[in-house]
Amino acid sequence: MSSDPILPDTFVPGFHDVEYVKRMEYAPFGRTGLKVSKISLGTGTLSQLYGDLDEAEGIAAVQMAVRRGINYIDTAPFYGQGRSEEVLGKALRTLPRSAYYVATKVARYERDFERMFDYSAEKTRASVERSLQLLGVDYLDVVQIHDIEFAPNLEVVLKETLPTLEALRKEGVIKFIGVSAYPMDILRQAISQAPGRFDTVLCYCRNTLFDDSLKDFLPFFLENRLAVICASGHALGLLTNAGPQPWHPAQDQTKIVCREAGDYCRQNGVELGKLAMHYFIQLPGPATFLSGMQTQKLVSMNLDAFYTGLTEKEAKVLAHLKERVFPKIKQTHWEGAEVAIYQAALKK
């Protein structure tokens, strides 16, 4: 009897690097019937959100990630106002459609505050149609309602956005429906008020080297048989040697401490991002751990954190940071900061 692991439904002979796929873990994706890779690919980085993008390198990174066993890919119209979906679409056109599951979002769109959010039925349908075109696919595996904490109220989400997605599912355009937000309490409210209507929930920056608040909500999500997507273990770039982009909403004190951590890693020839990734993926419960990767180097690093873990030196540096550096952070999250900026801008 063979001891080889069972290959996932997304495995394509002659395309995948079979040895990598055999080493990847694939977990049930909530009640959807899908099985997704433990590491998944975020593509907010395939846009100007994270600095200049080398498009050819970004496409190569997607190709490499899928060949090496990653089968869940996440994007959104807001990431570069369609740029992420456009670049990702160029990559997907070179890959077998059966080799991946692709997820996008609706409701968050433009950078200017007046047009940033739109939860209406009309815009939701138009957004899904545009995503299909940019991604070059006939259907979307998952469509998520993006950052529901910015909605004027949950009623518009549950009475316009969600029913429109349900109608699109009946039409065969999408398969599963999800919801995302930074504050987790509003996710619990939405799921409670629409029992059984969401298939996935995406939480980001809530399971990092300095924030463990996801664990308080995880039992509720799992009791509701949701596929939990744990995203951004690098805290939107805070937990990397390069540091975050200027738009990062974290408090200045948090940024200073994370900069200290990055400096310590550089002095020791270690990448903070790898340490963050390794820590991030240890939490039991989530179906997949989503990380942005716009270069082949980042794909290799993040997969290495999963496949081989940390070296003795890296583990020692991580222990120092956990004991001496990250406890200095006074506020482990920035909940409400972006919403306050948004509301103030609208009042002006």
CA distance 221 to 54: 37
Q: Which two tokens stand for residue 140?
A: 């979307």
139 Cβ contact list (under 8 Å, min separation 6): 132, 172, 173, 174, 175
For the record, the structure tokens of 125 come out as 């349908």
Q: Is the dihedral of CA 306, 210, 220, 337 positive or negative?
A: negative
Tokens of 6: 């069972």
Residues 6+ apart with CB under 8 A from 66: 16, 41, 73, 95, 99, 100
Q: Kindly state the tokens that stand for 60.
A: 């190569």
The DSSP call for residue 228 is E
CB 27 within 8 A of CB 288: yes
Residue 307 among the catalytic residues: no
Strands of 185-320 (E only): list them: 200-204, 227-231, 288-292
How far apart, in Å, are the Cα atoms of 181 and each of 76, 160, 185, 205? 13, 18, 9, 10
- DSSP for 164-218, please give it: HHHHHHHTTSEEEEEEEESSHHHHHHHHHHSTT---EEEEESSSBTTB-THHHHH
* Catalytic residue from among 26, 72, 79, 100: 79
Nearest to 67 by CA among 103, 43, 91: 91
Q: The tokens 């909500």 sit on which residue?
A: 217
Catalytic residues: 79
